[in-house]
Each structure stands twice: as C-alpha cells, then as structure tokens.
Structure 1
C-alpha cells in the first residue's frame, strides 16, 4: 500500500462520505475544508432509497433516518386543476428496504459523517485549509494548500476534488465543464405553514408556464416540519426584488390562500446549471459530486448522485491502493458514474423542468396526460419509480465495465 494519504479537497457531504468510505477500508486520508467548520448548505435535502442503503453500508444510515422525515408519496400537480398524478414508493418496497424519500438537510449528513470519522485514526480533517492547486507525477500528487499560517504542501497518493461546482481541482485538471446554465434564477424560501392542510404530500411539483414550483417538507424544530419551496424568477429581476417580502408573498399566495400573509423562515436565490465534466480523472486526480456534475433540483438527484460517486470511488480507489487492482481500474469509476449521470440525472432533471414549465397548451396537456397514464398503470408506475428513485441508475452503473 502506498504510504502517502489520499487527499480530498472539499468537506461537504460528498467529500466526507468519500473519506468515510476510504477510512473504513484502512486508507489514510487527509480532508481539506476551506471553511472553519462543516459548511451549512441548505440547498439539497432529499435522499433516495439507494442512497440511504449506501449510507447504511457505511454505518451512518440509521442516524440520518433518525433526523429526517420519511416521504413515501409525492405528487405532480397543475396549478389550475390540482393533482395530476400521485406516486407511492411503497410500490417498489420489494426492491429496497427504504421505500420512501428521506427529507433531511445535507449538512446534517455532513455532521453525521464527520462524527463517524472521529473513530478512525487514519483520517485527518483540516478546517480552514483549501486546495489551491497541485502537480502530479507517476508516484503521487503534491497538493498546494492555503492554511491560516500560509501556503503548505501535502504529498498524496491521489487527490479527489469534491470542492463544488467552481472546483479548483477541476480547473487545474484542465477539464471542460460541459453543459449550460438556465437563464432564470431560482428563488427558494421556507414557511412553517403546513401544506398538508391543503392536500399536499410531503413532496410535490406544480406545473405552470410562469409560476411552476417544487415543494418539499424538511425537519424543523418546533412544528412538525418546515416547507421549502422553489420558484423560477425572471432573468431581468434584481436579487433585491426577488427576495422582497412582496414578491415572496406573491409566489406562495398564488397557489395557497391569498388572504393571509405567510411566515417566511428564510429565503435565498441562486443560479442553476446542467453540466458534466468532460472527464472525471486525469491520472491520479479524480472528481466527484458537484465538482464533476451539477443539475437542477427537480427530482432531488444532485446530492444523491454525488453520494453514489463517493461510495463507488471509495470502493475502487481502496482496491487500487491495496494492490488488488491496477490504476486503470479507476477508469471504470469514470465510465460508470459519468455515463449514468448523463443518461439518468441530467436527462431526468431536464425533462422534469420542461414538464413543469411547458408553455404550449397542447404539448402541456399531452405531457400531463402521460403522467396520469403512468400513475394509473401499475407496471408503468413501477418503472417510473425505479427511475425517479435512482434505483435504475445504480443498477445501470453496475453493468458498465
């Protein structure tokens, strides 16, 4: 086994799960996180069945289940006509021990994984340490690190970039981040008002040419949950306008009771991308998570796909470092994870967005009728659920040699 550690750049959930996967196999790991503590990112908050299974295999699934909300049913709605289709993950209960979407903020997984790493003396987590570049040769990687006391170097066996969509590691690799950015920004806000009183399941998507939205419940201290809602906004609007009380209230009143003002717990605005790195590996440097691929949040697949990267890469990299496989075995990780991201994550999330925002009335009706037909046919619904739950994409990845 090579004596130099694997260095992981980025201490979000994907980086921490990658570290945990390697640590459990006896691999020395140094994890670099630029922030002074675990990043508290509120964007992602849905865990699909195979992801929870993978976290079970790493010994942290049970703790996440304790902190999350199980959502077995979800809806597709039309703003004017109500429920179009409702799906129950119980239909695929024979395929997974977790037939539900688990809603829980991603930073809670980060904290759980970080706590789990404490039992492994072969792991060092360095906060306020950020990868600024690297050089590599046939024997390893020299990683440049910005620290509170200046720039240092760490000699690594491999470098894994999990440092987000603006990844320094990917840029240093010279790898293109292929794809596009959606023209509109997303407004995301949360309210403690219980949408179940209006017939909503814990996750719902509302179709409308101008004001489509995505809704999902999250755990919250106090009430039984807090509801996070994502809307598109017009590209010409300023961030100040988007985040104003007037605009936020107009969005929520558009599909709930217009006569009351809603409590808003927080609000934010961000751009959304659909991109996949042209390659996930250059010799001893690899990418995972948002460093390798990003997508819109409709379907809750981005974080899940990143966790799938982490577990897949942890298995393959540990086999290489143990001398059980040659270094080219890492190319299988690239083939499996890059292809399934394109075939499933990118394709499904783009299709989900276009379903919700379709403007042509005839096309719109045709697509909504198709969803009604799928929900009404047990065989079609089962196939649809295997895709939307990401079980099909995990199986597909396993088939790729």
Structure 2
C-alpha cells in the first residue's frame, strides 16, 4: 500500500508539532509555510503542564525546558493597592502530571526545535516560501496548489491540516465562517529588561486586576536566556495608535506597576494588536481539517490559545493514525471536531472571557468578591488543585478523551 501523505499548511508551532506527530505515526509529511522564514515576533509564551506532556510525547521536552524559564507559581495582584491577592502553586499537581509547572518561553523556539527533529525523518518535506492558493478534494485525496519561488505547483496528499493562523487561507478556501467577535479595545505589549520580580516580589506570571487599566506581567527567557519581562495592557478605543505606542505612554503604564521615580524603563519591544474571540463554524471539510488559530482564537489572558493549538495537533495526528487506509468516510474523523470544537466553545472561549472580566471589573462589590474568591481558593489545597486542573488544561484533556 502506498504510504499516506499528510500536507500541513502553516509553519508555526501548531503546524510543526502536527507535522512531527504525523511523521512519528508513520505518515509521509509535507509542511508548507507561506513566509520565507520562521516568525520570530513576540507571541504566546506560556506552556501549561498538559501541553508539556504533549511536547514530551513528541520528544522535544528536554530541549524545550532548557530554552525557557520554569515557573512553578503564578499570582493575582490588586493593582489599585499593589497588593498580592493570591499565589497559586502548580506543585499541588505533582500527583496529576510529571510537569507541575509552566514553561515561559517564546513560541518560535518550539518551532526551531521541532524543525530540527523533523529533519531526522526521511519522508518529510519542509517548504518555506510556499503559499497555498487552491484546494481540490475527491474520494481519494486532496490536491493542493502552491505558489513559491519556483513557480506554481500542485501537491497531492491523503489529508490536509490547516494550521495557518487566524487569517487562515485554508479556512477561507473552504468558505468556513469564523464565528464570534473582536474586542473593541486593542492590546498593548511592552517588553522591558526591568526586573519586576526583584522590585515587587511577583511570580514569573502575574495578573494585575484594575478597574481602570488592568495588566498581565510575564517573564520570558529571551533568545539570550538572560530574561526579560512582557507587560500587557488594554488600549482605549478612543486613543490613536501613535499615542498608545509613544514613549511617554509606555513609561506611564509601566510606572503604574512600579514607580521608578522619573527614571526610564528600558524598552526592548512594543506591539499593538487587535484581539478576537472566534471559533470556526466547522473544524473539518471532508479531507481538510483546521487546527490552532485557524480554527479558534481568543484573548491571551490565561495563556490558552497556543496550548489548545498544540492539543489540536496531537488530537489530529492521532485521528489520522486511527483512520484505516485514509478513508474519508471513517467515523473516527468526525470525532476530531466533536472533541476539539466542543472543548473550545465550552471551555476556552468562556474561560478567557471570564479571565478578562475578572481583571477589568469596575464594580467595587464585584471586584472585592472576585479577589476574595481567588484568595480563598489559593488558601485551600483542594480548591487550589481544582482551579489549577482547569487553568492548566489537564481537566479539558480528560474531558476531551471522554467524548467518543
């Protein structure tokens, strides 16, 4: 029997992990990325315990941990009083996972490690600068038209995994609606060398509740492994981009976290982007499947987006492996959407929206209630474990496996 080929569209972390997991299950793989090189712009940085288990399953965990920061704790702070409200300790999950911590590092490092691992497989073809322009499906496979430096070409595969991001060409070619909405405010990301842990005693992951200007604060490894901090803030809808991105505004926002008394923060990078809560109406069209941001996007509070994309990758590879002879009529193929779309709608979307609302709550009574609940949860080992099982996605993994 001719070896089945999986065509993966998208050379980001979800696409690379999908390709690697498929190669390890005996498939021939073609990985297509429209850009000519790996995207190294600051993106998702938090990898949860459940996802670390999956990264371990494809043989990348040791190198991945080496290029990141291990974060056992994470905090909730009341920004109005600069008060630590609750500190959560992943170590309470030590009997639930071999990785009772998160790893903080840039997503392009996972791509680099995964590509090196992929190069060890003889039936893997990785192509950067190869943009997909058309898809044609029939009873036996998928024909993918691409445009690259060598001109136009057509490739043939058994199945296609569309992991090409929120603006997914694959999703658009399938005419699948991306249902949901866009938040009115934008998110501003500032990266600085300032050591917030030393200055305020915060954990590597800290969420700052504030009725005026909430924030997220994260330490990441950096390419030099010297560490740097990212701060995320909401940008008002009625303020223009130039003002939001200005030096004065950046300094003002960071000084609200720790006041340097007029001394400037060293800014290493800044970014401003729109944030969406959307889920594809379908995760599958015959032989073509969607994964990662191509199928779902959400606000970054809680760090669930990329993690769920990696979960998609492993689920999809296993689904293909259980599909005998590449028959598109196999019932197991429908299970992928039942599991991944259901979990995204019922958990990820709701959880990330709730995370945002908790940080930005303006009503004094509701604010006090939310913060008090967090403090009580962190103080009770049983409640803290239940909370961390949800935030680490361990609970959603178990729930997904229960969906037949």
TM-score band (shorter)?
over 0.9
Aligned to 2:29: 29
Distance of 2:155 and 2:324 partners within structure 1: 18
Distance of 2:329 and 2:168 partners within structure 1: 27
**3-state SS in 1 of match to 2:395:** helix
Distance of 2:212 and 2:307 partners within structure 1: 28
After superposition, residues 1-400 of structure 1 pair within 5 angstroms as 3=3, 5-81=5-81, 82-197=83-198, 198-220=200-222, 224-259=226-261, 260-320=263-323, 322=325, 327-400=330-403
**3-state SS in 2 of match to 1:165:** coil
Distance of 1:84 and 1:74 partners within structure 2: 11
Deviation at 1:158, TM superposition (A): 1.0
After superposing the two structures, state which structure 1 stretch, 35-44 or 317-326, moved more. Answer: 317-326
How has the CA–CA distance of structure 1 residues 97 and 325 changed in structure 2, closer, same or farther, with 3 Å as cutoff?
A: farther
Distance of 2:7 and 2:266 partners within structure 1: 44
Contact 1:2–1:321, Cα closer than 8 Å, also in 2: no
Deviation at 1:379, TM superposition (A): 1.2
Contact 2:132–2:147, Cα closer than 8 Å, also in 1: yes
**3-state SS in 1 of match to 2:189:** strand
- For structure 2, the 5+ residue unaligned runs are none
**3-state SS in 1 of match to 2:278:** strand
After superposing the two structures, state which structure 1 stretch, 230-239 or 277-286, moved more. Answer: 230-239
Distance of 1:155 and 1:68 partners within structure 2: 38
How has the CA–CA distance of structure 1 residues 297 and 383 changed in structure 2, closer, same or farther, with 3 Å as cutoff?
A: same
Distance of 1:306 and 1:150 partners within structure 2: 31
Deviation at 1:223, TM superposition (A): 7.4
Contact 1:3–1:157, Cα closer than 8 Å, also in 2: no
Cα-Cα RMSD: 1.5
Distance of 2:298 and 2:270 partners within structure 1: 20
Distance of 2:248 and 2:19 partners within structure 1: 44
Distance of 1:106 and 1:394 partners within structure 2: 21
Per the normalisation by structure 2, the TM-score is: 0.96
Contact 1:103–1:219, Cα closer than 8 Å, also in 2: yes
Distance of 2:241 and 2:253 partners within structure 1: 15
How has the CA–CA distance of structure 1 residues 340 and 221 changed in structure 2, closer, same or farther, with 3 Å as cutoff?
A: closer
Distance of 1:191 and 1:162 partners within structure 2: 31
Deviation at 1:377, TM superposition (A): 1.7
Alignment: residue pair count:
401
Distance of 2:205 and 2:86 partners within structure 1: 12
How has the CA–CA distance of structure 1 residues 280 and 31 changed in structure 2, closer, same or farther, with 3 Å as cutoff?
A: same
Deviation at 1:151, TM superposition (A): 2.0
Deviation at 1:243, TM superposition (A): 1.3
Distance of 2:351 and 2:117 partners within structure 1: 33
Contact 1:41–1:106, Cα closer than 8 Å, also in 2: no
